[in-house]
Copies of this chain bind each other. A is one copy, B any other.
């Protein structure tokens, strides 16, 4: 039981690493099995399909990421300062996520959403749900800021979506330029999205 449960974990970790470093379509089940050192039969015992595996990988990444996100959004800093720290968090994560060729791999959710939204409805909906959760946590911080009058009254939902979109956008630019520092450099603009619309 210990061994099989370990195999499942190895498959998840391997799929996460390989897909994040390249793409969903570029990584096959056989390669994941080889990387995880498990037999194909064992793979299909846990995951009936590559789609099911990918949904589990998304949850697996989310379990790890939400800890980091909550550390940033529930810190002792003021709400505005916490928002200001989001690009720094993204920068730190992206500085670590470098593949074998020295390339930054970007946001695993953004990568899969971009690649799979037109191709797999279940994966699209799963990622859309993750995006909703992230936006909701950013919105909660904005609401706190409005409540303590650090932030003037704003449409917190729309602003939270804008902030999340901006983060995804700067990560994409940094990935294309292969320079994680770009996330930090452009991150300073994030609080502008909280200023009045003109």
Given contacts A131-B176, A195-B192, is CB(A166)–CB(B164) below 8 Å?
Answer: no
B-contact bits for A21-60, CB 8 A (1 contact / 0 none): 1111110000000000000000000000000000000000
Which residue, A118, A127, A162, A177, has most C-beta atoms of chain B within 10 A? A118
Question: Which positions 156-196 of chain A face chain B at CB distance < 8 Å?
Answer: 158-159, 161-162, 164-170, 172-173, 175-178, 182, 185-186, 188-189, 191-196
CA distance A117 to B116 in the complex (A): 16
Chain A contact residues, majority secondary structure = helix
For A188, what are the chain B residues with a Cβ–Cβ distance below 8 Å?
A: 158, 197
- Show the binding face of A for B, using Cβ within 8 Å: 21-26, 99, 101, 103-106, 110-111, 113-115, 117-119, 121, 124, 127-128, 131, 158-159, 161-162, 164-170, 172-173, 175-178, 182, 185-186, 188-189, 191-198
